[in-house]
Chains A and B, each alone.
Chain A
Amino acid sequence: MLSPNENSAVALTHTAIALQLRGVSKTFASDERDGREVEALAPVDLDVRTGELVCLLGASGCGKSTLLSLIAGLERATGGTILCNGKEVLGTAPDRVLLFQEAALFPWLTVQENVEFGLRQADKSRAERAEVARYWIERVRLQGFEHAYSHQLSGGMRQRVALARSLAIDPAVLLMDEPFGALDALTRDRLHAELESLWAATHKTILFVTHNVREAVALGERVLVFSPRPGRIVGEFEIGLPRPRSLEDPAVVAQTARIMNLLRLQMSDFSEKSDICRRR
């Protein structure tokens, strides 16, 4: 079978750094009239190894999505630098792809055309596009739905298409912003399992934002905990547990409890601080 993404060199370069963030911060000038600014992200330092799966946890509004947009190049950081495989991030590029909570499929395109979208931008030939699309559609187990439109798919299927669409352009880094957050627990479990097996096979570098601490522990090699806004990394947990990990595994549960404690502590700290930083 054709496997455009299975990279055998990965094992040798496993300690290489895929993402290097130094002092990356973001402040939104939210309103022209009243001059209020929102400091979404305090300076963040972060190294992500090639092929690592890192989960990001933090209260709502702490800047997780902002961080992923910055890495994706959809927004410019206010300060600091981001290096992706040694190259500075100055805008969007097909080596980093962001998956949104809403699958963001193009409703005027079929499943197959959606998956081919990125390849079309790269001016790949029709035959090559079709072949790569077929491979990834099969990989996310949607064969038979090539010609369906997104309004004919369930939420879980849409996210699978979005995943296939992202993987089809063979990015080095996959940025996932709660992509399964809106799905029911069973479907989410399944998609996590599928993601884990895709990750095991392709060894993509993955940054995964979730709100579910236990799922983060079960999925991630490393779990990062953010403080409430402005977000900074306040905890870092290496999860050395053997895979496959079950959500009911006592070791997973124990690790989850430790992280929950840290999160609770952060939340109670935060409620004493003011909500928005004001500057005139």
Chain B
Amino acid sequence: MLSIADRPALEGQANERPARPGSQIKRTSGLHLPHAGLATAIRRLVFYAVLVALWELLARSGLWPSYLLPGPMDAFGALASGFRKDLYVEGMLVSLKNVAIGYGLSVGIGVSLGVLIGRHRLLEETIGSLVMGLQALPSVCWLPLAILWIGLNERAVIFVVLMGAVFSITLGVDAGVKNTPPLYVKAARNLGAHGLGLYWQVVLPAALPAILGGLKQGWSFAWRSLMAGELLFYSLSLGNLLQTGRDLNDVAMVMSVMALIVFIGVAVDRLAFAPLERRVRGRWGYDVNK
């Protein structure tokens, strides 16, 4: 059966190749069950409807005065008027700009630092332990230092964002690089890869799922740190709008800004990280359904 002459006879039986190339290729994103998705969406919708109804009931019950607990319609109205006055849009833009700069810096620094720590024993034992320690520090604790060093301005906020995100990104990259399957590295060296090329073409891509995890966690820390920082400044921004709402005794405004902050945080996670993560996990051969 090993002979070349026998091969045509085998073609039909052990046919590994589908008749049409490509017909076997499945799109991983198509694996969602539409019914399960719809049912979940309905359950969720009902839950939120009930929640809003309860809120409305509580607001109308008169247990609390309406300036402390406005109803959902008031909060919604505050949101709409905030957008009409461009206040919210401007605040959002400022906040997004600050977080983009701070997060961008922390990605650059975190990835480089993570790779170095992941590959060098000495750096891991020294800088690695420092990173672990600093990660335990809530990022808003950097603010006094930032104000003393940089002054009371947006750059101090960006510094706080950087410090909030950089360590979890570093640790994510570090973990990914350390857990690079040795088989990939062996195969790559075997095919002539070495030095920087080995890093760029094999170690980092192999670590990408873990790196993405770190980036995602870094993002949520960056967003939180930004709000903590902005609360204390007097230039227009989302965090500052919360503070303004407090100063004006306007609970509806505070609630509407909070909702906006939640919305942006979740939207970035859902629109940027979730699809990326799904694609990477699918391609890297992890289970996509879970």
Contact = CB atoms under 8 A, between A and B. Distances in A.
Interface residues of B, number: 38
Contacts of A120: 201
Given A148-B25, A151-B282, A247-B1, A121 B14 contact: no
Contacts of A166: 191
Interface string B192-223: 11100100011001101000000000000000
B6 A193 contact: yes
A156 B21 CA distance: 15
A276 interface: no
B283 interface: yes
B16 A189 contact: no
Contacts of B205: 106, 108
B6 A244 contact: yes
Contacts of B194: 121
A243 interface: yes
B4 interface: yes
A189 B192 contact: no
Given A143-B21, A145-B21, A244-B6, A72 B190 contact: yes
Contact of B7 (A100, A148, A193): A193
Contacts, number: 121
B30 interface: no
Interface string B50-76: 000000000000000000000000000
B190 A190 contact: no
A186 B202 contact: no
Interface stretch (B81-89, B169-177, B179-187): B179-187
B126 interface: no
Contact of A118 (B13, B191, B206): B191
A143 to B, nearest CB: 7
Contacts of A200: 4
B4 A141 contact: no
Nearest to B20: A144
Contacts of A248: 1
B248 interface: no
Contacts of B197: 121
A94 B7 CA distance: 31
B3 A189 contact: no
A107 B285 contact: yes
A2 to B, nearest CB: 20
Contacts of B16: 154, 156-157, 187, 190
A21 B259 CA distance: 72
Contacts of B183: 100, 102, 104
Interface string B79-122: 00000000000000000000000000000000000000000000
B43 interface: no
A94 B187 contact: no
B186 to A, nearest CB: 6
- Which residue among B192, B206, B284 has the maximum number of chain A CB atoms within 10 Å of its CB? B192
Contacts of A244: 2-6
Interface string B1-40: 1111111001001101100011011100000000000000
A259 interface: no
B189 interface: yes
A150 interface: yes
Number of chain A interface residues as a range: 35 or more
Contacts of A121: 191-194, 197
Nearest to A189: B1
A218 B1 CA distance: 9
B206 to A, nearest CB: 8
B152 interface: no
Nearest to A72: B190
B231 interface: no
Given A189-B1, A189-B2, A193-B4, A169 B192 contact: yes
B64 to A, nearest CB: 55
A190 B7 contact: yes
B192 A122 contact: yes
A154 to B, nearest CB: 6
A144 B4 contact: no
A135 interface: no
Interface in A138-184: 141-145, 148-152, 154, 156-157, 165-166, 169
A151 B285 contact: yes
Interface in B234-290: 282-285
Interface string A196-237: 110010000000000000010011000000000000000000
Interface of A: 72, 74, 92-94, 97-98, 100, 102, 104, 106-108, 117-118, 120-122, 141-145, 148-152, 154, 156-157, 165-166, 169, 186-187, 189-190, 192-194, 196-197, 200, 215, 218-219, 243-248
4 closest A-B pairs (Cβ-Cβ)? A244-B3, A144-B21, A121-B192, A118-B191
Given A92-B192, A120-B201, 14 more contacts: A92-B189, A94-B191, A100-B183, A118-B192, A121-B192, A151-B282, A151-B283, A152-B25, A189-B1, A189-B10, A190-B7, A193-B6, A194-B7, A244-B2
